[in-house]
Structure 1
Amino acid sequence: MSAETGRTNGEEPRIRVLACDDQALVRAGYATIFSAQPDLEVVGEAGDGIEAVRLAAQLRPDVVVMDIRMPRLDGIEATRRIAGPDATDAIKVLVVTTFNLDEYVFDALRAGASGFLLKDTPPPELIAGIRTVAAGNALLAPEVTRRLVGRFGDRIRHEEAPASRVEDALTALTAREVEVLKRIAEGLSNAEIAAALVISPETVKTYVSRILAKLSLRDRVQAVILAYRIGLATPET
């Protein structure tokens, strides 16, 4: 099997995962769960943030599963270095945390993470989350997104975006795309947006793809942040 592609002769390429957590038992659990899947491969483990950044650069995994509270360098800064705007060839990061760390999760998403799950997430959902992030989609559970928006939407809104960024964002989108972006910022799923706007989920998916492309956004996480920064959405919407 090639270390670069994760492909075994005759097989589809596997999703290469770097597991980062300061608890050896958690890392071992990840390795056991992920390696049992035919399309996942654990290529490395890191017990602190410095090691996570080093191994991410060295191994170039498809997805980094990142804890937040880690020694030497916390998961937020590690995420910023791996997936942030200044990262060279950014790698997708999936943060795994707990509800009582909402603010840390918010900061991790701002740092470049493609999504997050709770540490008590059942293994099938965690595996599905890795596949979702590897496919280039953000993993934002609507109910958790709403929780974060409720707490931090006002904080995002008061971080001024450059005037050119606001103008570009608002003029680039059609009226319907603006409506979809607003719903994304509320934490609605594609199905919920479809029901609210009386359109099909596939049509919503097309709108979301167009919005991300027009605004040069990586995923729904960045779309939520931008919507609040430019004042398109508020905590009361």
Structure 2
Amino acid sequence: MDEAARIRVMVVDDNAFIRSGLTSALEATGDIEVVGEAGDGHRAEELAWRLMPDVVLLDVRMPRTDGLSAATVLSKISRVIMLTQVEDPDVVLTAVRNGAVGYLVHNSFTVDELVQAVRDTVRHRAHPLSHAASAALIDAARAGRSAAPAADPAEQQERFGLSAREVQVMDLIVRGHANQDIAAKLFLTEKTVKNYINRIYAKLGVPNRSTAIVTWLGMPPRG
């Protein structure tokens, strides 16, 4: 494969065994190249500025600089997918607010699903969230607005200027459905669903699926 067409990935985890396993699995695809590895967030930041990877797979709990802090810097260089054992809702929310476009929890995905998540992230087709992370994100967002009266769906629709169909799509996103599932449920093509989602992002003023969920559910912005 043309080197220029290969997806450049950096793997960041303080466990060398995990780094090695991820590197082997990704490079076996033929279209993904692991261009660098780091065992902490500080080293990852240094390497990323030099290597300019397309995707960074980033653990949460690491020495020196943790993944949540590093995501703030790394997300300005690359597309960051958190890859971790941590399912804490507050951690998921912080990761998203710090720029992560995806959050995958170990043992909740296959190697093939991870590879596809990397490809889809680079191609802007999806923002991977494992079910555990998606549930945590939604629960935390709802908890964050629990002290205030629940927003009326019609008011929420008017606030963001979404069409009735866009509201249907957004509702299914919040429920954790992938684009393919949304297309099947609404009898649309997957391309049409993607077009709706892009319009939703524009109207909500968000860059990805994770922050769209947070915004739609009324989670206050990071202070």
The TM-score range, normalised by the shorter chain, is: 0.7 to 0.9
- Give distance in 2, aligned partners of 1:91 and 1:192: 28
Kindly provide the amino acid, as one letter, of the partner of residue 210 in structure 2: V
Map of 1:189 onto structure 2: 178
Q: Deviations over 1:55-77 (max 9, x none)?
A: 11221100000001110111011
Give the deviation of 1:168 after TM superposition. Answer: 11
Map of 1:126 onto structure 2: 114
| Structure 2, unpaired ranges of 5+ | 149-154
Listed as ranges, the matches of 1:22-171 within 5 Å are: 22-83=14-75, 87=76, 90-98=77-85, 100-120=87-107, 121-136=109-124, 137-141=126-130, 143-157=131-145, 170-171=159-160
Q: 1:208 aligns with which of 197, 205, 210?
A: 197
- Give distance in 2, aligned partners of 1:28 and 1:159: 45
- Give distance in 2, aligned partners of 1:32 and 1:149: 30
Tell me if structure 1 keeps the 8 A contact 2:134–2:176: yes
- Give distance in 1, aligned partners of 2:110 and 2:160: 42
- Give distance in 2, aligned partners of 1:195 and 1:129: 20
Q: Deviations over 1:131-174 (max 9, x none)?
A: 12111221124x335521453022443699xxxxx999835432
Tell me if structure 2 keeps the 8 A contact 1:190–1:204: yes
- Give distance in 2, aligned partners of 1:125 and 1:32: 15
- Give distance in 1, aligned partners of 2:181 and 2:167: 16
Q: Secondary structure at the match of 1:107?
A: helix
- Give distance in 1, aligned partners of 2:87 and 2:133: 14
Q: Secondary structure at the match of 1:229?
A: coil
User: RMSD of the alignment, in Å?
Assistant: 2.9
Tell me if structure 2 keeps the 8 A contact 1:97–1:105: no
TM-score by length of 1: 0.77
- Give distance in 2, aligned partners of 1:80 and 1:212: 21
Q: Secondary structure at the match of 2:217?
A: helix
The verdict on how the C-alpha distance between 1:195 and 1:127 changes in structure 2, with shifts beyond 3 A counting, is closer
| Structure 1, unpaired ranges of 5+ | 1-5, 161-165, 232-237
Listed as ranges, the matches of 1:8-27 within 5 Å are: 8=3, 13-27=5-19
Map of 2:169 onto structure 1: 180
TM-score by length of 2: 0.81
The verdict on how the C-alpha distance between 1:219 and 1:150 changes in structure 2, with shifts beyond 3 A counting, is closer
The verdict on how the C-alpha distance between 1:223 and 1:150 changes in structure 2, with shifts beyond 3 A counting, is closer
Residue correspondences, number? 212
Q: Secondary structure at the match of 2:14?
A: coil
Q: 1:227 aligns with which of 209, 216, 219?
A: 216
Kindly provide the amino acid, as one letter, of the partner of residue 121 in structure 2: V
